[in-house]
Structure 1
Amino acid sequence: MNARTRLAALLSAAVCLGALTACGSDDAKAEDPTPANGSTRGQGSESPAPSESEGQESETVAVPVYFVGETPQGPRLYREFREVPAGDPAAGALALLTSGDALDPDYRTLFPGGDAPTAQVDADPIVVDLPDESWTTAPDGMSEDDARLAAQQLVYTLQGIAQARTPVSIQLDGAPADLFGLGGELTNEPEIDVRALVNVTDPVEGATVSGSFTASGVSSSFEATTPWEIRSSDGKVVAKGFATAEGWMDKLYPWETEVDLSDVAPGTYTFVAMTDDPSGGEGAGPTEDSKTITVE
């Protein structure tokens, strides 16, 4: 084992210890700001500000919706910013979450189909009313781990809308109830334990870019280094670099970098951000998040 690998092992142990001490003491404010450039539509352009047209309200707002994807650590949460009606953003977000209607084809939901729950995000605790009694127990085929991660999908999405780490109270017809048998009041688990260790905010899936673009996201990667690549349809790396996040180890931190496309021919590519792998291939490998982009 070389020195860099030994250092990685020591730091990994430190992460585990940090996660234990952080349980129940996550930041009071949910760090789910709207993307800096507002690109949530899939074209790499800014989202329109909330607006009114001819006296009719047609406002939308970007909110974080949490889906599930595969990582070397097993299934984890990935975040997409989506535009939903501003009048009831929780309803729009929960409809996307429960249906699994993610832009990224690598994402899915652990929730059963059917009607979405309703939520009051301005309450303390946040109140979720289940659509029917079937939601109080885990459906056939749902493991306990999947049930817990599904609950975290719900909690992180609603806390992101509320912008506060507020507990979530589960009800059925106005009375206390369980979600999948997990209990009636849910809290967020430390994000280092449930979120993918890298997540791309921009570019969004299906974005069209030219010249250069700003890539951004969050990560918890060795020494805050977040490598990225642009890959052609045959897997060839046509451009690469790295971003430096604002921190690492205890939670996910923002990163941002400018991507130069001057040497990339027009066409369809995959932008991939990943965690740094100091093990030299001895571990499970890096966590990745990828987005299909079109270069003009």
Structure 2
Amino acid sequence: MSTDDELGRLLHDAVADVEPTDRLGELRARTATTRGTGLRWGAALAAAAVVAIVAGVVATTGPDVAREPVATGPSRTPSPTADAGRAVAAYFVGETPRGPRLYREFQRVASPTPGLSGLELLESGPVDPDYTTEWPAGSFRLDRISDPEDGTVHVWLSQGAPSPSELAMQQVVHTVSAGFGEPLTVVFHRGAEQSEPVAALPQLEVLALVNLSDPSEGQMVGDVLAVEGRASSFEANVPWRIEGTDLSGSFTAEGWTGARLFPFSGDVDVSSLDPGTYTLIVETDDPSGGAEGPGATSDSRTVVVP
């Protein structure tokens, strides 16, 4: 088994999500009593917080939070001799039929710091070329972030950081929540100014409806490709295929009627494939073939068969 195969297996086994608790009343109270000093983009931040509070119930408002991993994750530059580090989740932007949404990607960090390591990944960008980030290098004050207190974390922006869009703010909320292993609201600071607390929007409004966790981009695989992710798909059916081959099938998610994404996993026998680079595509089920609604959402990974 190659180093990358082992990393993928450990990530598959050890990294899971934590469902958020119901903090609706707490969020309402905090938003009513906490006031910022009026950043130029403070109105947008306040609106995002209010939308999340009004719309949310338990799983719909809470971020798709990852437990602190106890195993290694994918590497930006895979190498058999590289320090394995630890898996850190960051949320990046990708195109879907419903418009830009967030995709979670795990990257390997040698000595991660909760919260700050995720922000650093948002600046450095994704490994998967299908994703982008709205936070260029130098956006955050990476020398400081508060510890969670009463469900809130404070994040400091540099003076040169862009005025964040709603989706950019959600990148931070979900990434910081994953880093600390609990659903959090975020207060943004720029100099002496600060925003209203920003909570996570409902999952089905901000996350891509299918999201791969494993394999990692460019992973070396053996005869069996282990696949894991989360999806909100019709009747819990999650179709997959390997582009350019006759290999296809479907996974079954753990649910589909709730207003959130549900875990799915399975193994794909790739022993019949010749050595080369292949693309795994996983998508939501669309029985109408695009005739009703915006169509299927997909996520993909390139894998290498040695």
What range describes the TM-score normalised by the shorter chain of this pair? 0.7 to 0.9
Structure 2 match to 1:62: 87
Q: TM-score, normalised by structure 2?
A: 0.72
Distance 1:197 1:35, change over 3 A: farther
Deviation track 1:204-240 (CA, whole Å, cap 9, x = no partner) reads 1000101112111111111111111111xxxx23311
2:299 maps to 289
Q: Tell me how far apart the structure 2 counterparts of residues 123 and 176 of structure 1 sit (CA, whole Å).
A: 19
Two-structure CA RMSD over aligned residues (Å) = 2.9
Q: Secondary structure at the match of 2:121?
A: helix
Structure 1 30/86 Cα, relative in aligned 2: closer, same or farther at 3 Å? farther
Q: Which has the higher contact order (CA 8 A, sep 6+)?
A: 2
3-state DSSP of counterpart to 1:273: strand
Equivalent in 258, 261, 265 of residue 256 of structure 1: 265
Q: Return the offset for 1:88.
A: 2.0
Aligned with 1:243 (options 251, 265, 279): 251
Alignment partner, residue 177 of structure 1: 194
Q: SS of the residue aligned with 1:66? A: strand
1:33 partner letter: R
User: Within 5 A, what are the aligned runs for 1:56-205?
Assistant: 60-86=85-111, 88-99=113-124, 101-118=125-142, 119-124=145-150, 125-132=152-159, 134-135=160-161, 137=163, 147-173=165-191, 175-178=192-195, 184-205=196-217
Q: Aligned in 2, Cα 1:239/1:81: closer, same or farther, shift over 3 Å?
A: same
What CA distance in whole angstroms lies between the structure 2 residues aligned with 1:37 and 1:272?
25
Cα offset for 1:70?
0.2
Q: Is the 8 A contact 1:63 1:161 kept in 2?
A: yes
Aligned-pair distance for 1:136? 7.6
Counterparts in 2 of 1:38 and 1:220: CA distance versus 1, 3 Å: farther
Compute the displacement of 1:135 (Å).
4.1
User: Contact 1:225 / 1:244 at 8 angstroms: preserved in 2?
Assistant: yes
1:122 and 1:200 mapped to 2: Cα distance? 28
What TM-score, normalized by structure 1, do the two folds share? 0.74
| Equivalent-residue separation in structure 2 for 1:224 and 1:35 (angstroms) | 26
Structure 2 vs 1, CA of residues 253 and 67 (structure 1 numbering), >3 Å: closer, same or farther?
same
Structure 2 distance, partners of 1:21, 1:94, is 24
1:274 and 2:286 equivalent? no
Aligned to 1:40: 74
Q: How far apart, in 2, do the equivalents of 1:82 and 1:107 lie?
A: 13
Is the 2:170–2:201 Cα contact (8 Å) retained in structure 1?
A: yes
Aligned position for 1:23: 55
Distance 2:103 2:173 in 1: 13
1:17-49 deviation per Cα after TM superposition (whole angstroms, max 9, x unaligned): xx999823334685313679744226599x977
* Counterpart Cα distance in 1 of 2:283 and 2:70: 21
Unaligned runs of 5+ in 1: 1-18, 50-59, 139-146, 179-183
1 CA distance for matches of 2:116 and 2:89?
A: 13
Shift in Å, 1:115: 4.0
Whether the aligned pair in 2 keeps the contact of 1:71 and 1:287 (CA below 8 Å) is yes
Post-superposition offset of 1:170: 1.7
CA contact (8 A) 1:40 1:81 kept: yes
Show the counterpart of 1:5: none
Q: Provide Cα deviations, 1:51-93, integer angstroms capped at 9, x if missing partner.
A: xxxxxxxxx4322100000000000000001222435242222
Structure 2: gaps of 5 or more residues: 1-50
Alpha-carbon separation, structure 2, partners of 1:285 and 1:30: 23
- 1:207 matched to 2:219: yes
